[in-house]
Chain A
Amino acid sequence: MRVIFLLALLLLCACDAPRDPEHATDRILASHLLHAGASENPPWIWFDHGQPRGPDAELVTRLAASLGARVDWQRGSESRLMPLLEKRKLDVVAGGFTSSTPWGSTVGTTRPYGGHVLLTAPGENQLLLRLDRFLVTRQ
């Protein structure tokens, strides 16, 4: 028990915590690419000539920009996008979700922003925390 505690403390000092177990933030920062899913749900997010539009789409684009990345969008239904998010093939999914979304038990949910939330890859807590900070400073 004491060993685990000291080990955890050492790891904490060595880097900025919380860390992503699967290194999503590091990958985004290095590749300048954020993989986002878009589940059409007007008036939050919809597609116009193949381009995502609406406040959620704008939010994700700005978020990516704050990490020095551009967005690689994947358009799809919730049932297609969520398994990808759970497997961390996507970093974020936007679709006008509310904080009471049933997906909340399997993936990460951000702080509510304008009454709705973004979903994030499960356990990638550095990414989630950065999203939360971004959302709160924008409010």
Chain B
Amino acid sequence: MSDLSGPHTPELAGLVKQARRSAWLSIAYVLSCVALLALVMSGSQALLTEIVEDGLSLIAPVLFLVGDRISARPASKLYPFGYERATSAAYLGAALALLAAGMLVFGDSALKLIETEHPSIGGFDMGGQVIWIGWLAIPVLLWCAIPSWLLGRSKKKLAESLNDKGLLADAQTKTANWQSAGAAIVGILGVAAGLWWADAVAALFISLEIVRSGWSEVRTALADLMDRRPQKLGRSDLDPLPEKLTQFLRREDWIADAVVRVREKGRELIAEGMVVPRHPMIDVTTIDGTAKRAKELDDRLEHVALVPTARLDEHMQSLRLL
């Protein structure tokens, strides 16, 4: 029960530093992408959604940086549980941005198809030589796709090591970016071939995937804020830690029965164990020792609170996992 804030180990601190660098890199990269697209488009409306979608992907790394900074503050008298939840709030924001980007692309491309909008893409004057903007857009879109893909992969790994869902949502935003840039390339090749609908159809397909992943992230973010028991990162199967802790406590000599609740607090976990001692008189050092060893069961555990009680009431009984 020593430190109540910040990363536990130097290794984690290094990863956090790496994640921060990666967030700054993302911001600079997305801005370069938006600027290049805007330059190439010059009046053409065809790639406008691509620009807006890229712009929305700025939200995730910005929120990560803000959330990370706030979460590192030590607990205070006013915030006695610390600031780790800031990363959960950032996660919700990033998840909403991802969902919004997906819905935007979906709505825009569906509308284009319904209105049978034929995208007009003209020429770009490169010092007397007129090149079709479609051809120019392809290398720009590749620049918006390939680094996005690499960044997404490295962020996903970092998110798993850090147990940071906001970072995971950011990684998924990067995935959405490279997929929609890829779809835009396919769309432009289709438009070049005289298929006016190619751009909208390619975007529509990708938008379904973005909406699906955004929706699942928003649901997870809301569930985390409501203290649902932890799930494995980025998956829907349950994390087995509460069962593991229950078994550990029941094996302790002095404990007759135990019910455990675990919740997420940002990157970390907090556990609460209601324990029924075999004898009414227990030594506090025994309780402390058990709590300390329980905390060592998992790196993510920030705090294990043991509450000795004479009997488990009906409410606690109903929460029994094992």
Q: Residue on A with the closest CB to B115?
A: A106
Interface centre among A17, A19, A109, A131 (most CB of B within 10 A): A17
Quick check: which of B117-125, B167-175, B264-272, B304-312 contacts chain A, the rest being far away?
B117-125
Q: Cβ of B118: which chain A residues have Cβ within 8 Å of it?
A: 21-22, 122-124
Q: Does B145 reach chain A (CB closer than 8 Å)?
A: no
Q: Cβ of A128: which chain B residues have Cβ within 8 Å of it?
A: 120-123
Tell whether, in the assembled complex, residue A21 and residue B194 are in contact, meaning their CB atoms are under 8 Å apart. Answer: yes
Known contacts A4-B202, A8-B189: does B125 contact A132 (CB below 8 Å)?
Answer: yes
Q: Does B25 reach chain A (CB closer than 8 Å)?
A: no
Contact of B120 among A5, A9, A22, A125 (CB under 8 A): A125
Interface string of B188-201 (1 = CB under 8 A from A): 01111111101000
Tell whether, in the assembled complex, residue A18 and residue B125 are in contact, meaning their CB atoms are under 8 Å apart. Answer: no
Contact of A11 among B122, B130, B193 (CB under 8 A): B193
**B181-214 residues at the A interface, CB under 8 angstroms:** 182, 186, 189-196, 198, 202, 205
Tell whether, in the assembled complex, residue B189 and residue A9 are in contact, meaning their CB atoms are under 8 Å apart. Answer: yes
Known contacts A5-B189, A8-B198, A109-B43: does B134 contact A125 (CB below 8 Å)?
Answer: yes
CA distance A51 to B311 in the complex (A): 101
Contact of B189 among A12, A107, A111, A122 (CB under 8 A): A12
Interface string of B23-55 (1 = CB under 8 A from A): 000000000000000000001010000000000
Interface size on A, residues (CB 8 A): 35
**B111-133 residues at the A interface, CB under 8 angstroms:** 117-123, 125, 128, 130, 132
Q: Does A99 reach chain B (CB closer than 8 Å)?
A: yes
Q: Cβ of B130: which chain A residues have Cβ within 8 Å of it?
A: 111, 129, 132-133, 136
Interface size on B, residues (CB 8 A): 27
Q: Cβ of A5: which chain B residues have Cβ within 8 Å of it?
A: 186, 189
Known contacts A125-B132, A125-B134: does B45 contact A104 (CB below 8 Å)?
Answer: yes
Contact of A18 among B132, B186, B205 (CB under 8 A): B132
Q: Residue on A with the closest CB to B182?
A: A1
Q: Does A39 reach chain B (CB closer than 8 Å)?
A: no
Q: Cβ of A19: which chain B residues have Cβ within 8 Å of it?
A: 192-194
Contact of B196 among A4, A11, A123, A137 (CB under 8 A): A123
Q: Cβ of B186: which chain A residues have Cβ within 8 Å of it?
A: 1, 4-5, 8
Tell whether, in the assembled complex, residue B125 and residue A111 are in contact, meaning their CB atoms are under 8 Å apart. Answer: yes
Tell whether, in the assembled complex, residue B122 and residue A110 are in contact, meaning their CB atoms are under 8 Å apart. Answer: yes
Q: Cβ of B198: which chain A residues have Cβ within 8 Å of it?
A: 4, 8
Interface centre among B122, B182, B189 (most CB of A within 10 A): B122
Contact of A8 among B121, B123, B190 (CB under 8 A): B190
Interface centre among B189, B193, B195 (most CB of A within 10 A): B193
Task: Given contact pairs A4-B198, A12-B189, A132-B123, enumerate 8 new A-B contacts (beta carbons under 8 Å).
Answer: A4-B190, A11-B192, A11-B194, A19-B193, A20-B194, A120-B120, A123-B196, A132-B122
Contact surface of A with B, Cβ cutoff 8 Å: 1, 4-5, 7-9, 11-12, 17-22, 99, 104-111, 120, 122-125, 128-129, 131-133, 136-137
Contact surface of B with A, Cβ cutoff 8 Å: 43, 45, 117-123, 125, 128, 130, 132, 134, 182, 186, 189-196, 198, 202, 205
